[in-house]
Structure 1
Amino acid sequence: MQPLHAQTCHNDITPTTPTQDFTRHDDGTVTHNKTGLIWMRCALGQNWNGATCTGSGQAYTWPAALQAAEGFSFAGHNDWRLPDIKELNSIVEQACMSPAINAMVFPAAPSTWFWSASPYAGYVRDAWSVSFGGGSDGAFLKTGSDRVRLVRGGQ
C-alpha cells in the first residue's frame, strides 16, 4: 500500500486489509472477498466520480444514520444498511492511520469516526463507532455526529 494524502502506513506491520482481499467495481462499490460484504467506497455525502471519492462526507446522529440507510439506493441496489461493529472493524487497516483504511480500496476516506448499527449494551444512549483516524472503536452518545459508510450482504 502506498501512503496517500496524510496517511501513514508502517511497512513493519503486516497489512490487515491488503488490496488483493477486495474486488473493486466500476460502480463505486467493492467486495471484501474474505467476508462477502459489498461496501460503498465513499462515505455518505461523498460522491464517486469513477476514480475516487470527492467531498468530505456528511455527519449524522445515530438514529439519522439508521434512517439514511433505509431504502438508500446506490449502484442499482436499495438494500444498503449500516454495518454492525464487527463488520465495520473488518475494514480497519491496522498498519495505517489517518486514515486507518486501505486508501487504494476506499480512496479519500475521512479520518474520523463512523457509526456502526450496534447499540452499546453498557449504556442505552450509546452506540458503537469506529475511528478511521487511528483504528480504534468506542461507544458514543447516539445524539453525537459521526460519518456513515454503508454495506450490503452478509448477516
Structure 2
Amino acid sequence: MKIKITLMALIFQPLVFSIPANAFNKCNYGSLLGKDVRSKFKIQSEGTFKQESANLVWSRCVLGQSWDGKQCLGKALKLNLDDINRHLVRYEQQAELKWRLPTSFELENLYYSICSSHSLKHILLPNFSAKYLWTSSKSSGLTPYYLNITNGYLGLCEQSKCKFNVLLVASTI
C-alpha cells in the first residue's frame, strides 16, 4: 500500500509543478487598470453582441467566418496588419457599423469579462477557435500588440512578420 501511494505521488507530482502558478489567477480579478470590467452583454441579430458597459458592439465571428444564426462557420483568416485594412474596407461596405480593430484595453476588457464563465464565452462566441487576436494598440516603438485569448496576455509582434486572427468591434457612441 505504501509503495502504491509513493508511486502515485511520483507520477502526479510533475503535473502539479508543470502548471504555472498564475495560469488560473488571470480571470479572477474584477478590475483592469483600476476600472470595473464586469459587463452586461446583449446578443443582437446578424452575429453581434453588445457590451453595454463599454458601449461596444462585437462581431461573434473572426474575419473569414460568417454567422449562420447559431454559430460561426468557415475558415478563420490569419492576417498580418497590412492585409487587415483591405478586408476592413470590404467588411464595412456590407455593414451599418464602422468596424475596426479593438484597442488592447477593449480586448482585455472583453477577455476579463467573459473568461471566468466558460458558458458565457460559448454563448457569445460559439465555435471560437482563435488563440491570438490583433489589437490596434502599439508600443512606444510602434510595434503592434496582440492578445493571447487563452490566457489574457498581451504580446508584441512586427506587423509584417506575424499573422493572427481579427475580432472586429464598433463603438455605439
Normalized against structure 2, the TM-score is what? 0.68
Q: Which residue of 2 aligns with 1:82?
A: 101
Which protein is bigger by CA-based radius of gyration?
2
CA–CA distance in 2 between the matches of 1:76 and 1:148?
16
Query: Which of 65, 79, 82 does residue 46 from structure 1 map onto?
Result: 65
Q: Which residue of 2 aligns with 1:139?
A: 156
2:124 match: secondary structure: coil
CA–CA distance in 2 between the matches of 1:150 and 1:25?
15
- Identity across matched positions, percent: 20
Answer 1 or 2: which has greater helix percent: 2
Contact 2:115 2:121 in 1 (8 A): no
CA–CA distance in 1 between the matches of 2:58 and 2:94?
11
Are 2:117 and 1:130 aligned? no
| Runs of 5+ consecutive residues of structure 2 not aligned to the other structure | 1-23, 31-36
The one-letter code sitting in structure 2 at the alignment partner of 1:46 is Q
Displacement, 1:111? Answer: 3.7
1:73 and 1:89, CA in 2 relative to 1: closer, same or farther beyond 3 A? same
Contact 1:73 1:79 in 2 (8 A): yes
CA RMSD of aligned residues (A): 2.8
Normalized against structure 1, the TM-score is what? 0.75
CA–CA distance in 2 between the matches of 1:75 and 1:110?
24
CA–CA distance in 2 between the matches of 1:15 and 1:29?
26
CA–CA distance in 1 between the matches of 2:153 and 2:93?
28
CA distances 1:91-140 after superposition (whole Å, capped 9, x unpaired):
1134268xxx822111111241000111221x33x201111122211111
The one-letter code sitting in structure 1 at the alignment partner of 2:155 is G
2:83 match: secondary structure: helix
| Runs of 5+ consecutive residues of structure 1 not aligned to the other structure | 1-9
Question: 4+ runs of 1 displaced by more than 4 Å?
Answer: 13-18
